[in-house]
Amino acid sequence: MSPLKGLSAFPITPADAAGRVDTVAQRRLIDRLTAAGVDSIGLLGSTGIYMYLTREERRRAMEAAQEQCGKTPLVVGVGALRTGDAARLAQDAKAMGAAVGLLSPVSYAPLSQDEVFEHFSAVARESGLPICIYDNPGTTHFTFMPELVSRLSRVPGIVGIKNPPPEGEMVRHLRDQRSGTADGFSIGYSDDWCCPTALMVGADCWYGVLGGTLPKVCLAITRAAQAEDLVEAQRLDTALAPVWGLFRKYTSQRTVYEIIRQLGLSDAEPPRPILPVCEAGKQDIAAVLRGLPAGMAK
């Protein structure tokens, strides 16, 4: 199976206040994902604080993950401000066995559509690592126009896209993007609360933050959707509605850090200046975890 199909589970990257990765805790988190049988592991995504880590620490994180992931493919974040730096990070990821690089158009200065096309084309060409487009306008403040996605899908080595939730109807967005991109181009979505629906209407991949924390229930939804058991997929998605509410209220990143703390998997906090959830939020998260059906909070 392609690494950009099914559930790509994105864990946090536990690190101390100085940005040094806790590889023991990371291995523990990776073990949960491989034991659950996720389709790929999304290392160093936004939840995995890739932009807050040095190149050396990214390498340490990749090395620790590679030791634990077995045959589970790694999708590794390779974003950087400069094209040359992103290409070198992608080269590092390829050398350490990553299957795909996840590239976002991070920038201080606003970028044009042509500048992003050249940036992605250069990273794919110079690294030799298959690249997935990371469309994350909430952090990059860049909007991929349909024409740009179409052009990039035809660049050798650019193999898929991780979409944010569409502004319009999911079915229409997926249909339009599918018709405008190259054959075999993988189309997936992030922001977990929209992803079960995306899978149920034919998306290739769920890029899951909760999948990196509670992989079993997210994988169960994925498998139900792939089997076209929409009743079961919807039942499980509905059971997770309180978690999606936490994500909207406190952000997915802050919420999963606290879930991981409450499960005893790591005491890591988000990198400053990001603060952990407040005390009331911790209580909200604890109450939601207690209220989930048996077995889901594992």
Nearest to 263 by CA among 222, 215, 193, 218: 215
298 as an active site residue: the answer is no
Whether 135 and 102 have beta carbons less than 8 Å apart is answered as: no
| The token pair that represents 274 in the structure block | 């990001």
Residue 49 φ then ψ, to 5°: 50, 40
Q: How far apart are CA 169 and CA 161, in angstroms?
A: 18
Q: What angle do CA 26, 28, 33 make, to 5 degrees?
A: 95
134 as an active site residue: the answer is yes
Active-site pick, 5, 50, 94, 134 = 134
For residue 197, say whether it is annotated as part of any ligand binding site: no
* Identity at 23, one-letter amino acid code: T
Q: What angle do CA 282, 283, 284 make, to 5 degrees?
A: 90
Active-site pick, 5, 162, 207, 250 = 162
Catalytic residue numbers, as ranges: 134, 162
Binding residues for pyruvate: 47
